[in-house]
Structure 1
Amino acid sequence: MKVACLSAPDLCVRALEDRRRTEARLRLAAGGAWAGTGLVLTTRLGDALDPRNFHRAFKTRAAKAGVPVMPVHATRHTCASLLVALDVHPRVAMAILRHSKIAVTMDIYSQVSSATTREALKRLGEAFG
């Protein structure tokens, strides 16, 4: 089954497709014991993940990938910072981060200096000598 989502990057779509294939194998192996919660990330029996187990797996994968281990929620702030660095429009970032109000996104954006902001401040400084 192919996952189609217009707003997700190809990398995310491929990861979800891989997850669906893995889930199909797990469901087959579990037989009648499969819980079928409908969640994206589950145990081998289809039950919800225990947060401690999820965090342990998250740390293992981060170490394997050679990236710093951080709290899971901090990855949202990292995503926001990367979007700012890429000069993504705040409304687009709002949609990606699933914020319900632009003020939340702008609070994050106001804490990070993008290349455009740095250039504007540099030009302002040059104007005043």
Structure 2
Amino acid sequence: MFTTRNGTPVEPRNFNRSFERYCEKAGVPRIRVHDTRRTCASLLAALDVHPRVAMRILRHSQISVTMNVYTQVPAPETRRALNRLNQSLGEPLS
């Protein structure tokens, strides 16, 4: 929950408008506020942050929600992980 300077709740539509303005100023694509959670989870996974730590950051009560619903590992990260696994087994992928 976000509050105003006076401590009252921010109207969701006002928050969304402000969020869109910040995205525009930053020159980043507009996404839904909720999608920032998915972005955060995916970035944490790409940085090899332990899933339990990501779960705590995102305030989920179950790790399955963090990993199955919110986290997407990009293809290059998957390739690097497979290369590391292959190297540990003896043969790097080409």
User: Is the pair's TM-score, using the shorter chain for normalization, greater than 0.5?
Assistant: yes
Does the C-alpha gap of structure 1 residues 79 and 65 become closer, same or farther in structure 2, counting only changes over 3 Å? same
C-alpha deviation, 1:75, in angstroms: 0.3
C-alpha deviation, 1:71, in angstroms: 0.3
Cross-structure match for 2:3: 41
Counterpart check, 1:89 vs 2:50: yes
Question: If the length of structure 2 is used for normalisation, what is the TM-score?
Answer: 0.74
C-alpha deviation, 1:45, in angstroms: 4.6
Question: If the length of structure 1 is used for normalisation, what is the TM-score?
Answer: 0.56
CA contact 2:55–2:63 (8 Å) conserved in 1:
yes
Q: Residue type of the partner of 1:41?
A: T
How many residues align structurally? 87
Helix, strand or coil at the partner of 1:96? helix
Larger relative contact order, structure 1 or 2 (CA cutoff 8 Å, min sep 6): 2
CA contact 2:3–2:9 (8 Å) conserved in 1:
yes
Q: 1:70 aligns with which of 31, 46, 67?
A: 31
From the CA coordinates, give the structure whose radius of gyration is larger: 1
Could you tell me how far apart the structure 1 residues matched to 2:58 and 2:12 are? 21
Where does structure 1 differ by over 6 angstroms across 4 or more consecutive aligned residues?
none
Identity of aligned residues (%): 57
Correspondences of 1:1-129 after superposition (within 5 Å): 40-42=2-4, 45-107=6-68, 108-109=70-71, 111-113=72-74, 115=77, 117-122=78-83, 123=86
Unaligned runs of 5+ in 1: 1-38
